[in-house]
Amino acid sequence: MTDFDRLFTELTTLAQRLYALPDGWLEERVKLSTRMEEIRAEIASLTPASPEGLKEEIGRLERAIREIDRMKINVISSAGGSPGGDFGFTKDAMDMNRTIDENHGRNELMARLEVAKAKLAELTSTD
């Protein structure tokens, strides 16, 4: 497991924990949010520094995300059934798509893509 993978796995785990916290857990929310910012800073330091390297990284990440998306069920076209749709199947399809995302690390890839795009924008901006 690379440093990127380790950091993005931890970031995703923390985000899931933060999302699942009940209302009123302010101290835990602050702790998780602080650690997430530390991880984002570490990720930024590991991101390629050249525009060319960033463009390659962005392309690779976008291809990986497209491959994951191709595995998903088209919820709208699969709803079918009655005029109102088959909401039971729709929920099942959405759950399966969520599982596909989780099992293939789509959230981590999206976070890496966001970091790489931000870094590229920073490097190529003309102030």
Reading the chain (127 residues) residue by residue, the pLDDT tens digits are 677 778 878 888 888 888 888 888 889 989 988 998 898 888 777 777 789 989 998 999 999 999 999 999 887 776 665 555 556 677 888 888 998 888 888 888 888 898 889 889 988 886 5
Does pTM top 0.95 for this prediction? no
- What radius of gyration, in Å, describes the C-alpha atoms of the chain? 18
35-39 contacts at long range (C-beta below 8 A, 24 or more positions apart): 36/11, 39/7, 39/10, 39/11, 39/14
Kindly list the distances between the CA atom of residue 74 and the CA atoms of 77, 90, 96, in Å, as whole numbers in the listed order: 6, 9, 11
